[in-house]
Amino acid sequence: MSTTSLVLFNKPYGVQSQFRDDSNNDHTTLSEYFTDKSLRVAGRLDATSEGLLILTNDGRVNKTITHPPKANAGRKQGKTYLVQVEGIPTAEQLDKLRQGVILKDGKTLPADIKQLSEEDLPMPLWQRDPPIRERKSIPTSWLMLTIYEGKNRQVRRMTAHVGLPCLRLIRWSVAGFELEELAVGEFVRIHLDSTKLRELGVNN
């Protein structure tokens, strides 16, 4: 029986969360970084988003990470993002995000959110290529936002809904696994024993 492994990858901007290129754009794919054909993505990340992407060779782990709480025995697998937005958020805007906002595909679940200064971010940030668009007359802010579901482009739509357009989106953690000090384009492979699998919520 093969060993259950989990790969933490710091996905660069412009890389698709798939191995095969079935589009006509200029984005690269995961095949530029991985040759292990047993790996599958556990929770996609848009090409224009950066940060933590998890891959695994175990379907049980994939299901535990990607399925919403109701389909996962009530376990909440939170995903935390560092979000650079245009403008300075008000207390009212932050409260709306905490309570959940109504999008076209329904109301979002309550989210955890706090505003951070760039100095308080959990890791030093790299320069994005291409850089974000900036308007000198409008300041930007950083938010740390944790959601417990996976609607399409959810974080971007949530912040836009309350009047805070997203300029940069970096996924920091998924289901307790963090990006930590991984450089852009780097990955680390973790082997999961039975104890680790139980902690993650996987039934052996």
Which residues carry out catalysis? 46
Q: Which residues contact 195 (CB under 8 A, 6 or more apart)?
A: none
DSSP code per residue over 47-90 = TT-EEEEEEES-HHHHHHHHS-GGGTTT----EEEEEEEES---
Answer for the pair 51, 40: CB distance below 8 angstroms, yes or no. no
Within 13 Å and on the Cβ side, how many CA atoms surround 60?
13
The span from the CA of 4 to the CA of 58, in Å, is 6
Give the CA distances from residue 169 to residues 12, 79, 92, 141, 142, in Å, rounded to whole numbers and listed in that order.
Answer: 11, 12, 22, 12, 10
- Pick from 95, 94, 109, 114: nearest CA to 149: 109
DSSP state letter for 28 = B
